[in-house]
Amino acid sequence: MWPSSADQLAAVQASLAVASPAPWRPGAGMLATGGCVVCFARGQGGPGAAGDRAWAAATVLRGHEAIADATVTGVAGAAYMAGLLALREGRCLEAAVRALGVRPDVLLVDATGRDHPRGAGLALQLGAVLDLPTVGVTHRPLMAAGPWPEDREGATSALLLDGEPVGVWLRTRTWARPVAVHPGWRTTIDAAVETVQRAGCAFRTPEPLRRARRLARTARAG
C-alpha cells in the first residue's frame, strides 16, 4: 500500500492527483473527528533516516469527548524529503488509525493535500489508503502562498499554487497565527474548513490533532 522508493511514490501521487472519488461533506449531526500524528526521538535534528524509531498516535473526538485513542511504535521508512513525506510517515500513521476501536467520520492529518509538487500530499494519500475523508492541517503551506486573513476568528484567505486555490489560511483564534487547511481525500476546501471549525479549536491547532500529538509524545516518554 505504501511505495518504498521516491520514484514509486511519485507515480502513486500523480495517479491520486487526478482521481475523482465521490466528494464528502460534514453532516448535520455531531462528527466523530479523528486526528493522527507521528513523532520521532527528542533532540533529533536534520532530515532523519530510514529506521528512525517512531511513535504514532490517533484519536477520535465526538464533540469534546474522546471516544477512542491508539498509539503504536514503528520505524520511519525514509529520511524526510519535501514532497515525499509519505515514505517517512505513511505506514506509521496508517497503523495508528487502524488501531482505533472507532472509525472516524473524517480524519485530520498533519500534512498537506493538493499543496504539493504532484498534487497529492500525505493527507490525501492516507485518506485513499484508509478509505476515509481527510483534511490536512499544517503550520505553513508547502508550496502555495497567500496573504494572511484578517485577525478575526473564522477568517480565511486563499492559498494559491500556480494560480489555483489548493487550500486556505484559517484563523482559528483571534490574535493567533492562522493554520493552513488543506482539502485531502474526498474533501473540498469548504468541507475542510467546516471540518476544522467543528473539530474545536480552544487553541490554535484543532483539538483532535493536539490530543494525538500529546498521546504520541506520552508514548515516546514512556
pLDDT at 80 over 90: yes
Per-residue model confidence (pLDDT) at position 199: 96
1 — pLDDT class (breaks 50, 70, 90): confident
Closest CA to 104 of 159, 143, 58, 48: 58
Cell of 46: 536534520
Rounded to the nearest integer, the mean pLDDT of the chain is 96
Dmax over Cα atoms in the chain, in whole Å? 46
Provide CB contacts within 8 A for 147, sequence distance 6+: 157, 169
pTM of the entire predicted model: 0.97
Distance (Å, whole) CA 193 – CA 105: 15
Q: For the chain, what are the domain ranges?
A: 31-42+49-221
Closest CA to 123 of 157, 83, 155, 164: 83
Distance (Å, whole) CA 98 – CA 87: 18
CATH level 3 topology of 31-42+49-221? archaeoglobus fulgidus dsm 4304 fold (3.30.2170)
